[in-house]
Structure 1
Amino acid sequence: MMRVGVISDTHLRSYDRDLAKKLAEHFKDVQMILHAGDITELSVLDMLEAPQVIAVLGNMDGFAAAQSLPAKRELKLEGFQIGLIHGYGPPNGLEERVRREFDDVDAIVFGHSHKPTNYLLNGLLYFNPGSAAGGRGHPKTVGMLTLGDSISGEIIEI
């Protein structure tokens, strides 16, 4: 079994000691952390402690992030194909837009809306950890994926 921490929409300009402490607590046993964009500055990734950290570009990310992060990624983890993307456009229809970005995946991890999302539709897991910064009427949240016989997600309020 593999546990993957998921975070998105941190919207930070620099390292945040309090957030780093909370993330270390919630992600202490993960093998990997996925960041679904809107990191803002690459130094924010230094807060994420895991054997591997994988991130994608968000629409609010700075120049350095834009030069070094792809807009989307596909990962094969524990036999599951996972699409990782930030997302774009208005909140309505976001899931449909990110779905069109990937052909044959078992899960899509995305951000952008700040709205925590965790549901299966036709065998596909749609997972948005929400925003570690909160906002837009949503609490501060991160997520956890568990990959074993199946893939499942959990939203964690921080």
Structure 2
Amino acid sequence: MIVGVVSDTHVPGKSRGLPRELIEGICRADAIVHAGDWLTLDVYEELSAIAPVYGVAGNGDGDEIVRRFGWKTTVELGGVRIGIVHGHTGKGRSTPERARLAFADERPDLIVFGHSHIPLLEREGPTVLFNPGSPTDKRRQPRYSYGIVTIRGGSFEAEHRFFSNRS
């Protein structure tokens, strides 16, 4: 199973649409996870044309997206429990710490989060923390990014995909 992982798309704020590199990179995904800051449900519609989409709202999202997705969720894909949160609220001094603490009682296999726009792949005990970065707003990062999670037999590998132009 292939899962496309994205966050902080900020469409139409930072880009008129989703970058071609992102769409081409996730076009064969079996599912897509979005960790918030969509800004518009048009992003959901575009991603839903590729695969089922699971996600949460971020601090940049309006009431319609908050009502639709909520702030936090857990899904099971291919036998892997995935916690999804944007990472902008809660206890903790850093975005990764807030994401981890949001699921302290649940212990998912993988926690997907966003907010900082900083790509991160880090194991913390039995849980992997994964921030895909942003495909439209790299901020101080050298490149735009998203993620791919490959699930086989209940185990998984997460990786970043980087690109330089968001056309």
Aligned to 1:142: 146
- Which whole-Å deviations, capped at 9, do the CAs of 1:122-154 have from their partners, x for residues lacking one? 121110000111333012111001111421111
- Which whole-Å deviations, capped at 9, do the CAs of 1:53-87 have from their partners, x for residues lacking one? 11210000123212322101101111111101111
Q: Residue 8 and residue 18 in structure 1: after superposition, are their counterparts in 2 closer, same or farther (change >3 A)?
A: closer
Moved more, 140-149 or 109-118: 140-149
Q: How does 1:48-67 map to 2 (within 5 A)?
A: 48=47, 49-67=49-67
Aligned to 1:24: 23
- Which whole-Å deviations, capped at 9, do the CAs of 1:26-69 have from their partners, x for residues lacking one? 01211001110000111122231423011210000123212322
RMSD: 2.1
Aligned to 1:153: 158
Identity, % of aligned pairs? Answer: 35
Aligned partners of 2:85, 2:156: CA distance in 1, in Å? 18
Aligned partners of 2:22, 2:146: CA distance in 1, in Å? 8
The TM-score with structure 2 as length reference comes to 0.84
Aligned to 2:36: 37
* Contact persistence 1:72–1:83 (CA under 8 A): yes
Residue identity in the other structure for 1:73: T
Q: Is 1:97 matched up with 2:98?
A: yes
Count of aligned pairs:
156
Alpha-carbon distance, 1:5 to partner: 0.1
Q: Residue 101 and residue 92 in structure 1: after superposition, are their counterparts in 2 closer, same or farther (change >3 A)?
A: closer
- Which whole-Å deviations, capped at 9, do the CAs of 1:98-123 have from their partners, x for residues lacking one? 11211221010000000001121212
Alpha-carbon distance, 1:18 to partner: 6.0
* Contact persistence 1:5–1:34 (CA under 8 A): yes
Alpha-carbon distance, 1:17 to partner: 4.9
SS of the equivalent of 1:100 reads: helix
Aligned to 2:6: 7
Q: Residue 4 and residue 46 in structure 1: after superposition, are their counterparts in 2 closer, same or farther (change >3 A)?
A: same
The runs of 4+ residues in structure 1 deviating greater than 3 Å are: 14-18
| Unmatched tracts of structure 1, length 5 or more | none
* Contact persistence 2:110–2:128 (CA under 8 A): yes
Q: How does 1:116-131 map to 2 (within 5 A)?
A: 116-131=119-134
The TM-score with structure 1 as length reference comes to 0.88
Residue identity in the other structure for 1:115: I
